[in-house]
């Protein structure tokens, strides 16, 4: 089974990211990057599936040059190969532009299964996987909390408003995985060393057959008009618990007629 | 002429969803509101849509929309959009809503906006308010290019305003092409939920990693019951499997806006704040005076949740007892 995992590389979650009001984009320069912890779950799930059923895991990442560290991270976990879509012509793409680039790259090699996280950690539009499935012409099985494969049939437990649904379809298809699906492995030293030797294929926008009407800032349907800060909540009262903290909360609630 | 605003109607727990009615109320403000309702629905469904401002309902009761997620709905809506050309189509940020909107945006090559908290139309051009980076920013965005503007709306973004309208119903045919049946639901499992539902609760007592063990949630349950509220949690507590995912509040969980939110042992990460910042009154208990949750708290108690909460429970019981005499 050939699995393609679409993984994003994002600023370290411990870093506070800013938006540049002039470009209206996230400032990624000089910010340490990592494999998106959400995408790591998709990589992990793909590795478990190939460990069971055989096959390969190819990681596709669209992102700047500094995304390489995250790509190596996925390879160190055990992914077979990687594709890096890095081209200034792709910068500023919206979700649909990103999906078009990913689809074009994925179409270059045969695949059975495409895996994504339901959302990325930094922009979390949650749109890319659904758009990608549509562009590839494969059914999307989304919000999976577990994935099993039997022959050509993939069955997932799909999160629902009131519990979960059991949902199936035949390969080829696309699956998105939720946060709770697994605990990604840590790369071993051997994995990290091995990752340095694995191939990272690169494509430019032109090689993907995509022009400025489809990708990059010019191709984006979504335009950010203004960058602002939400209205701040008025400052509250912060007290140190002096042994009466619980009583003070009760008094506060009573004052507001909440009890 | 008024802009045509469509709403993707959904049924949750056997009723037209709350989010559908929220969107219809907003659609009514923006222009002429119409709904698309696909699949089996309760008898009064069209009446409910009509009572909230829908002047037309595109309707099919075909079970294919229920048994085969996403693909049939995408096919039908794409056809409907092509022939009626609404200015905007609103979708709830539900599992189904997001899948249908994402696929449509690629099929129609029109893009989509997600996580939209407010919406304005200025001479046919859309201005959507969207929180970014976990709510530390609030931006306005638009969709350019021809075609319908697809918008995924945050839950609780709009108030429900009843608005009696007489809806005409237009039956639409379900797609016959077998390829729309590629995804099949074979089983639906409902996880039993007790007590008031998070989304509708006026009081929420929420716990995080600071509670340290699943059995400690019993303390929060007791407090919630005394206040007539429900229990919520952070993703840290959900990921640790202390409580089910249905209790998760935040960016990847539920959005809540209760009158009172009591955060117990919660640091206040942006992704958690994204789901509860709209609460009217926020009380936080945390041992760390620098915990970001205190920046949104109306009352913050720097202290041990295992001391403060039991005392609060005792005090509430005492006051209740006193009230009963
Ligand atoms: C893409 C993405 C989506 C996410 N979505 C969500 C989401 O929907 N919801 C969500 O909640 N999180 C979400 N998160 C996770 C979020 O970033 C935080 O990791 C999470 O909210 C932390 O949960 P917590 O506050 O329980 O734990 P911690 O951050 O570990 O905080 C525990 C707190 O408890 C306090 N504490 C410890 N002991 C005591 C005590 N005895 N008494 C009182 N206080 C004590 C500590 O001081 C600390 O502040 C998401 C993250 C990402 C990357
Ligand atoms: N730049 C990217 N490169 C690779 N995969 C991506 C990229 N952006 C989004 N994805 C995939 O789409 C998922 C959802 O992302 P988003 O739509 O940004 O929330 C991610 O978890 C990835 O699986």
Q: What pLDDT, on the 0 to 100 scale, is given for residue A113? A: 98
Residues B170 and B209 in one domain: no
Looking at the predicted structure, is the pLDDT value of residue B322 above 80?
A: no
Which of B119, B150, B181 is the endpoint of a domain? B181
Mean pLDDT of B72-98: 97
| Inside any domain, residue B70 | yes
Rounded CA-CA distance B34/B289 in Å is 50
Residue B29's Cα: distance from chain center in Å? 20
Contact A167/B13, CB-based, under 8 Å?
no
Pocket of ligand 1 (CB under 6 A): A 13, 38, 121, 124; B 208-210, 234-237, 248-253, 265-267, 269, 271-272, 275, 285-288, 291, 304-306
Lowest mean pLDDT among A119-133, A242-256, B180-194, B255-269: B180-194
Q: pLDDT tier at B78 (50, 70, 90 boundaries)?
A: very high
Of B153, B181, B209, the last residue of a domain is B181
Two structure tokens written together for A162? 């009131």
Of B112, B277, B314, the CB nearest to A127: B112
Residue B237 lies in a domain: yes
- So what's the pLDDT on residue A217? 95
Residue A169 CA to ligand 1 centre (angstroms): 36
At B270, list the tokens: 């942006």
When the pLDDT of each residue in chain B is averaged and rounded to a whole number, the result is: 94
Task: Give me the CATH number covering residue A8.
Answer: 3.40.50.620
Q: Is the pLDDT of residue B193 over 70?
A: no
Structure tokens at A194: 């091995």
User: B280-298 in b/e burial notation, b at 16+ Cβ within 10 A?
Assistant: ebbbbbbbeeebbbbbbbb
Looking at the predicted complex, does its ipTM rise above 0.85?
Answer: yes
Cα(B188)–Cα(A90) distance, rounded to whole angstroms? 41
| A22 assigned to some structural domain | yes
Q: What contacts A167, CB < 8 A, 6 or more positions away?
A: A141, A155, A156, A157, A158, B69, B183, B184, B185, B186
Rg value, chain B, Cα:
22
Q: Check whether residue B77 and residue B146 sit in a common domain.
A: yes
Query: Do B99 and B177 share a domain, yes or no?
Result: yes
Task: Specify if B205 maps to a domain.
Answer: yes
DSSP string, B157-218: SS----B----EEEE-PPP--GGGGSSEEEEEEEPP--SS-GGG-SEEEEE-GGG-SGGGHH
A165 to chain B nearest CA, in Å? 4
Low-confidence ranges of chain A (pLDDT < 50): none
Together in a domain, B158 and B204: no
* pLDDT score recorded for residue B215: 96
Q: How far is CA A99 from CA A19, A130, A132, in A?
A: 23, 9, 5
E strand or H helix that includes residue B314: helix B305-324
Whether residue B189 is contained in a domain is answered as: no
What does the DSSP 8-state code read for residue A66? G
> For the segment B130-167, what is each residue's pLDDT rounded down to a tens digit?
988 878 899 999 999 989 999 999 999 999 999 999 99
Which CATH number goes with the domain that contains B45? 3.40.50.620
Residue B139 sits in the same domain as residue B238 = no
Number of alpha helices (DSSP H) and beta strands (DSSP E) in chain B: 9, 18
Is residue B86 located within the same domain as residue B15?
Answer: yes
Alpha carbons A177 and A74: distance in angstroms, whole number: 16
Q: What's the DSSP call for residue A16?
A: P
A185: closest CA among A69, A81, A82, A37?
A37
- Residue-level pLDDT at A54: 97
DSSP A189-229: HHHHHHHTTS-EEEE-TTTTT--TTTSHHHH-SEEEEEEE-
CA distances from B27 to A148, A159, B53 (A): 41, 28, 8
Q: Looking at the structure, do residues B176 and B41 belong to the same domain, yes or no?
A: yes
Question: Quick check: B71 and A139 CB within 8 A?
Answer: yes
Domain span at residue B36 reads: 4-181
The CA-atom distances, in angstroms, between A235 and each of B40, B246, B257 are 48, 31, 19
Residue A213 counted as domain residue: yes
The alpha carbon of A245 is separated from its chain's Cα centroid by a whole number of angstroms, namely: 42
Give me the total of CB pairs closer than 8 Å, taking one residue from chain A and one from chain B. 252
Listed residues B148, B181, B214: the one ending a domain: B181
The confidence score (pLDDT) of residue A231 equals: 86
Q: How confident is the model at residue B81 (pLDDT cuts 50, 70, 90)?
A: very high
Residue B192 domain flag: no
Q: For residue A138, count other CB atoms closer than 10 A to its CB.
A: 21
Please tell me which residue of chain B has the smallest CA distance to A26. B133
B166 Cα to chain A: minimum distance (Å): 30
The closest ligand to the CA of A126 turns out to be 2
Residue from A161, A235, A251 to probe the interface with B (highest B Cβ count within 10 Å): A161
CA angle centred on B57, ends B55 and B59, rounded to 5°: 170
Atom 11 in ligand 1: which residue has the minimum CA distance? B234
Order of strands, sheet of B137-143, starting from the edge strand that comes earlier in the sequence = A222-228, B137-143, B125-132, B118-122
For A236-252, the pLDDT digits (tens) are 999 999 999 999 999 99
The residue whose C-alpha atom lies closest to atom 7 belonging to ligand 1 is: B250
Cα–Cα distance list, B314 to A2, B48, B174, B183, B301 (Å): 60, 44, 59, 53, 17
Q: How many domains does chain B have?
A: 2
Residue B37 C-alpha from the chain's centroid: 18
| pLDDT value of residue B49 | 97
B142 and B255, same domain (yes or no)? no
Residue B194 has a pLDDT of: 67
What's the confidence (pLDDT) of residue A10? 94
Kindly tell me if the per-residue pLDDT of B188 is higher than 80: yes
- The answer on pLDDT for B325 being more than 60 is no
Q: Are residues B210 and B175 in the same domain?
A: no
Query: In chain B, what percentage of residues exceed pLDDT 90?
Result: 83
Chain B residues lying within 8 Å of A124, measured CB to CB? 114-115, 251-252
B186, part of any domain: no
Please check whether residues B11 and B145 belong to one and the same domain.
yes
Asked if residue B107 and residue B82 are part of one domain, the reply reads: yes
Cβ separation A134–B74 shorter than 8 A? yes
Residue B323's pLDDT band (cuts 50, 70, 90): low
B154, B255, B264, B265: which to mutate for ligand 1, most atoms within 8 A of CB? B265
Name the minimum distance, in Å, from the CA of B169 to any CA of chain A: 28
pLDDT tens, B14-70?
A: 899 999 999 999 999 999 999 999 999 999 999 999 999 999 999 999 999 999 999
């Amino acid at each position: 089974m050939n699995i393609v995992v679409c993984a994003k590389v994002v600023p370290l979650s411990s870093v506070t990211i800013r938006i540049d009001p002039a470009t209206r984009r996230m400032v990624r320069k000089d910010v340490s990057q990592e494999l998106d912890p959400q995408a790591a779950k998709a990589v992990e799930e793909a590795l478990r599936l190939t460990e069971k059923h055989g096959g390969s895991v190819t990681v596709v990442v669209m992102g700047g040059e500094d995304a390489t560290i995250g790509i190596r991270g996925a390879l160190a976990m055990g992914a077979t190969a990687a594709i890096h879509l890095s081209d200034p012509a792709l910068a500023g793409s919206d979700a649909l532009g990103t999906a078009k680039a990913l689809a074009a790259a994925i179409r270059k090699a045969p695949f059975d299964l495409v895996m994504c996280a339901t959302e990325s950690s930094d922009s979390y539009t949650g749109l890319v996987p659904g758009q990608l499935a549509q562009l590839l012409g494969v059914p999307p099985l989304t919000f999976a909390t577990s994935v099993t494969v039997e022959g050509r049939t993939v069955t997932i437990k799909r999160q629902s408003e009131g519990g979960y649904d059991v949902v199936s379809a035949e390969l080829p298809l696309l699956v998105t995985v939720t946060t709770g699906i697994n605990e990604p492995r840590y790369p071993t030293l051997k994995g990290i060393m091995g990752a340095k030797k694995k191939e990272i294929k690169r494509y430019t926008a032109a090689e993907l057959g995509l022009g400025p009407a489809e990708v990059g800032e010019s191709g984006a349907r979504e335009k950010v008009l203004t960058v602002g800060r939400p209205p701040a909540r008025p400052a509250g009262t912060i007290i140190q618990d002096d042994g009466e903290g619980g009583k003070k909360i009760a008094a506060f609630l009573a004052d507001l007629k909440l009890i | 002429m008024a802009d045509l605003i469509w709403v993707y109607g959904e049924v949750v727990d056997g009723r037209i969803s709350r989010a559908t009615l929220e969107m219809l109320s907003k659609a009514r403000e923006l222009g002429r509101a119409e709904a698309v309702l696909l699949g089996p629905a309760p008898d009064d469904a069209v009446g409910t849509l009509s009572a909230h401002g829908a002047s037309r309902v595109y309707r099919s009761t075909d079970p294919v929309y229920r048994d085969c997620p996403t693909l049939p709905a995408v096919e039908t809506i794409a056809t409907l959009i092509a022939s009626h050309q609404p200015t905007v189509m609103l979708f709830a940020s539900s599992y189904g809503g997001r899948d249908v909107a994402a696929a449509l945006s690629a099929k129609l090559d029109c893009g989509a906006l997600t996580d939209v908290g407010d919406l304005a139309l200025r001479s046919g051009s859309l201005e959507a308010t969207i929180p970014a980076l976990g709510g530390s920013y609030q931006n306005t965005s638009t969709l350019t290019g021809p075609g319908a503007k697809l918008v995924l709306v945050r839950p609780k973004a709009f108030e429900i305003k009843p608005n009696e309208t007489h809806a005409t119903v237009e039956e639409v045919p379900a797609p016959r092409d077998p390829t729309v049946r590629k995804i099949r639901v074979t089983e639906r499992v409902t996880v039993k939920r007790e007590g008031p539902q998070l989304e509708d609760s006026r009081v929420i007592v929420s716990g995080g990693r600071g509670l340290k063990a699943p059995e400690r949630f019993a303390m929060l349950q007791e407090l919630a019951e005394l206040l007539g509220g429900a229990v919520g949690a952070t993703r840290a507590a959900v990921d640790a499997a202390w409580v089910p995912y249905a209790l998760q509040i935040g960016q990847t969980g539920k959005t809540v806006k209760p009158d009172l939110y009591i955060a117990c042992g919660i640091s206040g990460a942006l992704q958690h704040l994204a789901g509860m910042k709209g609460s009217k009154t926020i009380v936080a208990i945390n041992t760390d005076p620098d915990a970001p949750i205190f920046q949104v708290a109306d009352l913050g108690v720097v202290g041990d949740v295992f001391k403060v909460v039991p005392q609060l429970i005792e005090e509430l019981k005492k006051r209740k007892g006193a009230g009963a005499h």
